[in-house]
Amino acid sequence: MEVRQGIHSEHAKQLDTAGLRKEFVIENIFEADTYTMTYSHIDRIIVGGIKPVNAKVSIGGEVGKQLGVSYFLERRELGVINIGGPGLIVVDGTTYEVGNEEALYVGMGAKEVVFSSVDAAKPAKFYYNSAPAHTTFPTRRITLAEASPTTIGDNITSNRRTINKFIVPDVLPTCQLTMGLTKLAEGNLWNTMPCHTHERRMEVYFYFNMDEETSVFHMMGQPQETRHLLIHNEQAVISPSWSIHSGVGTKNYTFIWGMVGENQVFDDMDHVKVSELR
């Protein structure tokens, strides 16, 4: 488990490219037959990927020890979105089939969560976020259709995209975690511009569906102190409450957003006018 400390906006201002990347970018999300795990002190979100190929993968007791509990989800909830081939997730003996672009919410208290792929030639790739929880809400699979796809933006501003809200209060109750998947239409490059901050929540972005020679310039920083991070396929960015989070790609791409914090109101954003950005 890799730990990232929280960071003050005044400190972030001083960092060079390598320094910013060390604090905010998670370069390695998927490794065959194991899980990756980054623990951020910002709202104590945990971010990672699970890619079972030939073996089953479970997030075991050693993580519980590092978290000061006896098992991973003793005091946490989990959201998973599969971006790979068909997969299976067994939660305390109940099997959930989780296909490409489908999600599973696992409530606090699940002791054993085991991940596997249906076909080793097309391995599942389970991207996950986990947040501290106070009660148990039911474990549930969510399909793409249930995520109420909504298309917004315009070709003229190069930001036509479909937002799929998988883990939000309209779909199912959770303690604090919300997660969704946003797909840019072909020829469209910008996400979340005009941009926003939300003092009341942090957010993690995970970019994927990108060709080898493409990248996303992820915009971060306070609105009058912007920086960018070069993101390649299947990499994630931690976005503190004080930071904008927007991006422009050299080609269209898809990303998963996950948020934790004070509220779960998707539209609770402090919008920033483009003319006010620096």
Ligand X SMILES: O=C(O)C(=O)C[C@H](O)C(=O)CO
CA angle in degrees (0–180, nearest 5) for 91-97-103: 80
Q: Pick between residue 43 and residue 203 the one whose CB is nearest to Zn ion.
A: 203
The entry of Zn ion, ligand X, none near residue 120 (CB within 5 to 8 angstroms by kind) is none
- 203: annotated binding-site residue? yes
Residue with tokens 């199912």: 172
Give me the long-range contacts of 215-218 (CB less than 8 A, separation at least 24).
215/249, 215/250, 216/247, 216/248, 216/249, 216/250, 216/253, 216/255, 217/247, 217/248, 217/249, 218/245, 218/246, 218/247
Residue 163 binding ligand X, by CB under 6 A: yes
Residue 203 binding ligand X, by CB under 6 A: yes
Residue 72 binding ligand X, by CB under 6 A: no
Question: How near is the Cβ of 234 to ligand X at its closest, in Å?
Answer: 18
Q: Pick between residue 125 and residue 161 the one whose CB is nearest to ligand X.
A: 161
Quick one: residue 109, left, alpha or beta (phi over 0 = left, psi -120 to 50 = alpha)?
left
Among 257, 260, 261, 272, binds ligand X (CB under 6 A): 257
- Interface with ligand X in residues 258-277 (CB under 6 A): 269
- 245: annotated binding-site residue? yes
Q: Pick between residue 51 and residue 161 the one whose CB is nearest to Zn ion.
A: 161
Which DSSP letter does residue 32 get?
B
Residue with tokens 């596997």: 116
In whole angstroms, what is the distance from residue 65 CA to residue 228 CA? Answer: 36
- Residues at the interface with ligand X (CB under 6 A): 161, 163, 182, 191-192, 198, 203, 245, 257, 269
Instruction: Please report, in range form, the residues annotated as the binding site.
Output: 196, 198, 203, 245
Instruction: Please report, in range form, the residues annotated as the binding site for Zn(2+).
Output: 196, 198, 203, 245
